[in-house]
């Protein structure tokens, strides 16, 4: 058995020239050491660059026990540890759906994604076909090129699904850079989201509230000369940004009559609510389309700012690892799984979910019982939490561990702090204040484990030994 400290104590890489952060490198995932740091070659845009580097740990006075680490080949052909092999298969920690009823939450809350009561209507592997149709109206003509609204959302949506599905799923978009005129004025295309009370904008003109299917049928007929509806999974109508009469953003699955017959699609459309709040449209698009892909979402802690499925307008727009594992989107060795009865004190290197890096461990799953799992994730200010076009992200100094308990016997998800199938854990000894993200409820930071701090939960001790590009987390029985 080897301690994580063994990395710094025994593995070295010959110096064939100093490695510097930001310098170009050759192979993504390769590693090298220089000046007491371990550097990893990561993809940044279209370039391969050395990351900021991680200080190499020194041997601990009481080495912890850990499984044999898995080596990665560095650019110089020498092995360097980047993650630990999971001591147990992931399926040991993907506990089955233990609900006696699936009335409140019809989608999946655990693997497999087909375990929910509601059928999966968007595939979670392969290409998902999306038509983004720019629609304007006689009373709201489009004045800017549709591409100025659409292209940034396409780019970010593609980047997100490539990373969080680990290439297992992708979006195949078709669109046009011209506005397609609707047959009627804008107030004839009003859809009200369940639970909303109508249009609060002063001066808006009301009209008949229509179903999403009726609206989509009419608008897709207007666009049929410019779009191919064969094999379509999602249709997304984008309106001009100065829209007023249409407030709620449409999201509903249904059968739409088109020139090629009935097409069963997820129907999405923008509205003044999205534009006026400056929400990331791509994040809302992904959130709404992950539901028909099978995810229940809205847990842990509905509305929390740390997961695109709890809050499409949160500060951290990642997909948490439990949802990833539900879709079977995790990469090999991305999740460290161990049952509580088999747990020994172990130090585990872990990377934040917000990082663009796809190398190394992203979460620890601790199986407590046949229906309960404790999940540990590293969270910080990074790419997926840096904000979007003026919309705020996490504070730049935000860094720590979030721990949540999953209980697959609970048929509830839309609760802020207690009662859902997944709930963030807290420790009263952690006095880190309060954080309130954009468009989210207050979050007590005694649920955040900072460097040097320990959280006790379900008879397990979780300590953040070191915070950095790669965190070192110590887990043990309390």
Same domain, 72 and 94: no
- Residue identified by tokens 């799992």 is 373
Query: What confidence category does residue 34 fall into, taking pLDDT thresholds of 50, 70 and 90?
Result: low
Give 174's strand partners.
131
- Cβ neighbours around 468 below 10 Å, total: 18
Q: What is the span of the domain harbouring residue 340?
A: 90-103+302-477
Q: What is the mean pLDDT of the chain?
A: 88
pLDDT tens track for 136-171: 999 999 999 999 999 999 999 999 999 999 999 999
- Distance (Å, whole) CA 418 – CA 356: 31
pLDDT tens track for 42-79: 766 666 776 767 665 443 334 344 444 444 433 333 33
- Cβ neighbours around 390 below 10 Å, total: 6
Q: Domain tally for the chain?
A: 3
Give the range among 45-59, 296-310, 323-337, 357-371 with minimum mean pLDDT: 45-59
Same domain, 127 and 237: yes
pLDDT tens track for 196-218: 778 999 999 999 999 999 999 99
- Distance (Å, whole) CA 38 – CA 57: 10
- Residue identified by tokens 């720019």 is 134
Read off φ and ψ for residue 269, nearest 5 degrees.
-155, 145
Domain presence at residue 200: yes
- Name the 3-class secondary structure at 195: coil
Closest by CA to 379, choosing from 354, 348, 403, is 354
Query: What confidence category does residue 359 fall into, taking pLDDT thresholds of 50, 70 and 90?
Result: confident
Q: Transcribe 47-96 into DSSP letters.
A: EEEE-S-EEPPPPPSSPPP-PPEEEEE-TTS-EEEEEEPPSS-HHHHSPP
Domain presence at residue 407: yes
Same domain, 206 and 225: yes
Q: Which two tokens stand for residue 34?
A: 């220089």
Q: What's the Rg (C-alpha) of the chain?
A: 24
| The Cα angle at residue 461 between residues 357 and 98, in degrees rounded to 5 | 80
pLDDT tens track for 316-348: 999 999 999 999 999 988 999 999 999 999 999
**What value does the mean pLDDT take over residues 410-422?**
94
CA atoms within 13 A on the CB side of 270: 28
- Distance (Å, whole) CA 133 – CA 81: 48
- Distance (Å, whole) CA 328 – CA 326: 5
Cβ–Cβ under 8 Å, residues 472 and 4: yes
Q: Which of 290, 325, 355 is the last residue of a domain?
A: 290
Q: Which of 258, 290, 322 is the last residue of a domain?
A: 290
Q: Which two tokens stand for residue 259?
A: 């020139």
Same domain, 438 and 458: yes
Domain presence at residue 70: yes
- Distance (Å, whole) CA 222 – CA 136: 11
Same domain, 266 and 359: no
pLDDT tens track for 75-133: 333 334 456 889 999 999 999 999 999 999 999 999 999 999 999 999 999 999 999 99
Give the per-residue pLDDT at 197: 77
Same domain, 39 and 178: no
């Amino acid at each position: 058995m080897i301690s994580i400290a063994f990395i710094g104590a025994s593995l070295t890489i010959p110096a064939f020239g100093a490695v510097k952060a930001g310098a170009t490198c050759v192979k993504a995932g390769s590693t090298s050491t220089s000046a007491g740091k371990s550097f990893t070659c990561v993809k940044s845009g279209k370039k391969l660059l050395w990351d900021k580097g991680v200080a190499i740990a020194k041997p601990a006075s009481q080495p912890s026990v850990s499984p044999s680490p898995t080596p990665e080949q560095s650019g110089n052909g020498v092995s360097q540890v980047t993650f630990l092999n999971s001591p147990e298969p992931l399926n040991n920690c993907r506990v089955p759906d233990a609900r006696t009823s699936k009335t409140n939450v019809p989608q999946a809350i655990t693997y497999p994604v087909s375990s929910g009561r509601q059928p999966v209507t968007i595939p979670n592997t392969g290409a998902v076909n999306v038509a983004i149709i720019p629609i304007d109206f006689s009373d709201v003509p489009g004045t800017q090129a549709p591409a100025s609204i659409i292209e940034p959302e396409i780019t970010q949506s593609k980047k997100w699904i490539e990373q969080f599905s680990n290439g297992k799923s992708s979006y195949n978009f078709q669109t046009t850079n011209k506005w397609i005129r609707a047959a009627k004025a804008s107030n004839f295309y009003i859809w009200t989201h369940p639970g909303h009370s109508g249009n609060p904008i002063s001066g808006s003109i009301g009209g008949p509230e229509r179903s999403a299917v009726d609206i989509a049928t009419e608008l897709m007929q207007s666009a049929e000369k410019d779009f191919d509806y064969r094999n379509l999974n999602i249709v997304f109508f984008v309106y001009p940004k100065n829209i007023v009469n249409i407030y709620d953003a449409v999201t509903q699955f249904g059968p739409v009559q088109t020139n090629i017959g009935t097409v069963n699609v997820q129907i999405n459309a923008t509205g003044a609510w999205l534009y006026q709040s400056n929400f990331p449209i791509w994040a809302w698009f992904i959130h709404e389309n992950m539901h028909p892909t099978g995810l229940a979402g809205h847990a842990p802690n509905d509305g929390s700012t740390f997961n695109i499925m709890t809050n499409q307008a949160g500060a951290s727009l990642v997909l948490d690892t439990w949802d990833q594992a539900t879709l079977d989107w995790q990469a090999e060795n991305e999740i460290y799984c161990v049952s509580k009865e088999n747990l020994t004190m172990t130090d585990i290197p872990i990377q934040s979910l917000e990082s663009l890096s796809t190398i190394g461990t992203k979460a620890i799953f601790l199986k407590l019982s046949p229906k309960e799992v404790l999940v540990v994730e590293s969270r910080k200010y990074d790419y997926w939490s840096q904000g979007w076009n003026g919309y705020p992200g996490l504070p730049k100094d935000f860094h720590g561990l979030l721990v949540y308990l999953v209980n697959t016997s609970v048929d509830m998800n839309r609760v802020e702090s207690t009662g859902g199938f997944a709930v963030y854990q807290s420790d009263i000894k952690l006095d880190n204040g309060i954080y309130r993200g954009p468009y989210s409820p207050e979050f007590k930071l005694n649920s955040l484990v900072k460097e040097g701090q320990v959280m006790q939960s379900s008879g397990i001790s979780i300590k953040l030994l070191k915070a950095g590009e790669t965190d070192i987390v110590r887990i043990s029985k309390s």
